[in-house]
Amino acid sequence: MITQFERIPDLFLELYDEQFQLWAQEFRTRGKRCAIVFNPAPGSVPKFDGEGRMVATGCWLEAQVEITAGSPRVVIKPASEHDQEMIERHCVEMRRFVLQ
């Protein structure tokens, strides 16, 4: 099966490859929507809510399975414009810490 990513930067795919692999392995049980929890930027101060729980940020992704006469493919893209913006902002922040 071929996987195609739309509107997701390569840096994001590199940073979260393990989460994508896990989603692929568990696709039948987890389904077509997946939350990716962002790694904090190195040296950043964690944020906590009013009850002392750490606040995590992330985004939602959706997969569309397309079955054609050739081979089936999965198209993965942000679930909404807000999710796409979150991905883009996170990549800008993380780009400073990744060796190019």
The per-residue pLDDT for range 54-98, each reduced to its tens digit, is 999 999 999 999 988 778 899 999 999 999 999 999 999 999 988
For residue range 32-54, what is the model confidence (pLDDT) as tens digits? 999 999 999 999 999 999 999 99
For residue range 13-33, what is the model confidence (pLDDT) as tens digits? 999 999 999 999 999 999 999
| Whether 55 contacts 47, CB under 8 Å | yes
Which long-range contacts link 85-90 to residues 24+ away (Cβ below 8 Å)?
A: 86/38, 86/57, 86/58, 86/59, 87/8, 87/9, 87/12, 87/59, 88/9, 90/12, 90/38, 90/57, 90/59
